[in-house]
A = this chain, B = another copy of it.
């Protein structure tokens, strides 16, 4: 079993606040899973009874609508915890978590997290802060959804993906999303998303290499996004 002690990822989460003893407890209670691209970690309505610490890969939290569209609420990468909210609220999952790229996650039982929360102030504060951060993001997203056009949101999202996940050696965005997923993030129809990518390509602000995307003119993209 891998020791959480040596896990770099832990340094990025609220788990960084744990002391030696607690980390040992954590290592003994966790279970590691490999999730392949497209597979679910948990689905809406499921009771998880714990959280998932993302060690590697990329995941999406989304909700399926009546008309079959999948609205993506949040992307997660290594160093984030999944399922905190439902666990704290004592509710089944409100969203479905799926892998966008192959993932490795560690499941941490609820009892452990609650134990840490109650005995380690630094941990509880950190955890609280991450939820607060999520809330702020969500509120700002909500505002952007209403106040910005699809074009602006696409530009904004491309910049975000670049910032958050970085680029490969060939300058293409590191996260590879389908057009449908990208549309699911900005909240639009897949066709509209494709069309606007085409426009951006013609304008020269991005370059489309197959399904991959290169941001050619960040400055103009930023201007479009405002």
The residue that A147 contacts in the complex, of B67, B91, B127, with Cβ under 8 A, is B67
* In the assembled complex, A196 has its CB within 8 A of some CB on chain B: no
Q: How far is the CB of A45 from chain B (nearest CB, A)?
A: 14
CA A77 – CA B125 in complex, angstroms? 26
Q: How far is the CB of A224 from chain B (nearest CB, A)?
A: 14
Chain B, Cβ-Cβ closest to A62: B143
Interface size class of A (residues with CB under 8 A): 35 or more
The B-contacting residues of A in range 112-136, CB under 8 angstroms, are: 117-118, 121, 124-125, 127-129, 131-136
* In the assembled complex, A82 has its CB within 8 A of some CB on chain B: no
* In the assembled complex, A34 has its CB within 8 A of some CB on chain B: no
Residues of B within 8 Å of A226, CB to CB, are: 66
Interface contact B145-A145, CB-CB below 8 Å? yes
Q: How far is the CB of A106 from chain B (nearest CB, A)?
A: 21
Contact with B along A42-78 (1 / 0, CB 8 A): 0000000000000000000001011101010100000
The residue that A143 contacts in the complex, of B73, B133, B134, with Cβ under 8 A, is B73
Question: Mostly helix, strand, loop or mixed at chain A's interface?
Answer: helix
Chain B, Cβ-Cβ closest to A89: B132
Residues of B within 8 Å of A135, CB to CB, are: 85, 131, 134-135, 138
Interface contact A118-B121, CB-CB below 8 Å? yes
| Other contacts beyond A117-B125, A124-B124: 9, CB < 8 A | A65-B147, A89-B136, A94-B140, A117-B128, A118-B125, A127-B128, A131-B131, A141-B142, A147-B187
Binding site for B on A (CB under 8 A): 63, 65-67, 69, 71, 73, 84-85, 88-89, 91, 94-95, 117-118, 121, 124-125, 127-129, 131-136, 138-143, 145-147, 187-188, 226
